[in-house]
Amino acid sequence: MNTEQADPDDLAVIRAAFDVDDRGESALGWAAVHAFEEEHGVVLPEPYRTFVAEITDGSYSGPPDFGLVGLAELPDDWGTDREERVLREPFPLTAKWLWEEDPRPSAESEPELDHVFNHGSIVLGTDGCGMYWHLIVNGPHRGHIWFISGEGATPFGEEFGFTTAEPGFAGWIKHWASNKPWFDAA
Q: Can you list the domains of the chain with their CATH numbers? A: 8-177 (3.40.1580)
Percent share of the chain, pLDDT over 90: 65
Give me the pLDDT at residue 88, please: 97
CA distance 48 to 146: 14
When pLDDT is cut at 50, 70 and 90, the band that residue 53 belongs to is very high
Q: pLDDT grade, residue 21 (50/70/90)?
A: low
89 close to 122: Cβ distance less than 8 angstroms: no
**Measured CA distances, 43 to 13, 111, 135, 165, 176 (Å):** 23, 25, 12, 24, 25
Q: With 90 as the cut, is the pLDDT of residue 104 above it?
A: no
Mean pLDDT of 48-53: 96
Q: What is the pLDDT of residue 91?
A: 97
Across the range 19-29, mean pLDDT stands at 75
